Amino acid sequence: MSGKIQFKYLKEYKILVQVQRKLISYDHKQALIQYHQPLGKKMDEHRQLINDLVSSNQSLQPVMIFDPVTQIAHRKTFDEYLNIQWKQLDKEQSPLSLLLCNFDFSLQIDNTLQDKILQQVAQVTKSITKRSGDFVARYENYKFAIILPKTDSQGAIYLGKLMREQVEQVKLNNPELTDGKNFSLSIGVATIVPSKKMIPQSLIDLVEQAIYKSKLSGKG
């Protein structure tokens, strides 16, 4: 009799153990669900944060690529584009021309008027560089650069003359400019066939020398 009772108790114990195991398993699953729910929420929040950062970064792209005053490319973009064209034209053995336009403002011209003039000059510079490969940039504070791929020296000199004519027109369009309150323009032009034996800075140095000589001669 006692053996049957023990068997009964043992059977009930096994059932109880099985029930307890199922409860533990259930509790474990519930705990996992409760644990993962906030994780999932956090992951969603992180995804949203990443999307917001990407959107913000895209909205900043124009600021990083373009000069904020003139809305033309800035120096870093100029350097990158010059390197690209240098490598490409080295392969093709085609000429690469560069113009540097240096503006000297009189002390009587304040920063507001300077920015206004530079903005107008930037617009006319873009208007005379119509080919898809031509590239205009604000090289330094008072210097604009024009990269002219596959352009010989004659073509670059012609564009320099055209640039000077356009700048004279900008002066006429601003009556606040007078003899004592004005600015001058010096243009340097250089043409080179890129080579692996040289670097892009070689072309920039030639143009800087041309500007220096034009200032010394007083011809601009």
Domain boundaries, the chain: 1-63, 75-217
d(CA 122, CA 100): 13
Both structure tokens of 188? 């340097």
Environment class of 162 (CB within 10 Å of its CB; exposed 0-12, middle 13-18, buried 19+): middle
As beta bridge partners, residue 188 has 100
Confidence (pLDDT) at 23: 47
Q: Exposure string (b/e) for 13-42, b if CB count within 10 Å is 16 or more?
A: eeeeeeeeeeeeeeeeeeeeeeeeeeeeee
Both structure tokens of 86? 């240098």
Backbone torsions φ then ψ of 56, nearest 5 degrees: -65, -40
Residue with tokens 């604000």: 138
Confidence (pLDDT) at 181: 85
Both structure tokens of 177? 């400019």
d(CA 41, CA 44): 5
Question: Using N-to-C axis directions, what is the helix angle for 153-172 and 111-128, rounded to 10°?
Answer: 140
CATH no., domain 75-217:
3.30.70.270
Both structure tokens of 141? 């504070």
Confidence (pLDDT) at 41: 61
Which is nearest to 135 in space by CA: 66, 217, 193? 66
For the chain, residues with pLDDT lower than 70 are 1-46, 49-64, 218-220
Find the farthest-apart pair of alpha carbons in the chain and give their distance in angstroms, rounded.
Answer: 128
Both structure tokens of 24? 């533990």
Confidence (pLDDT) at 1: 52
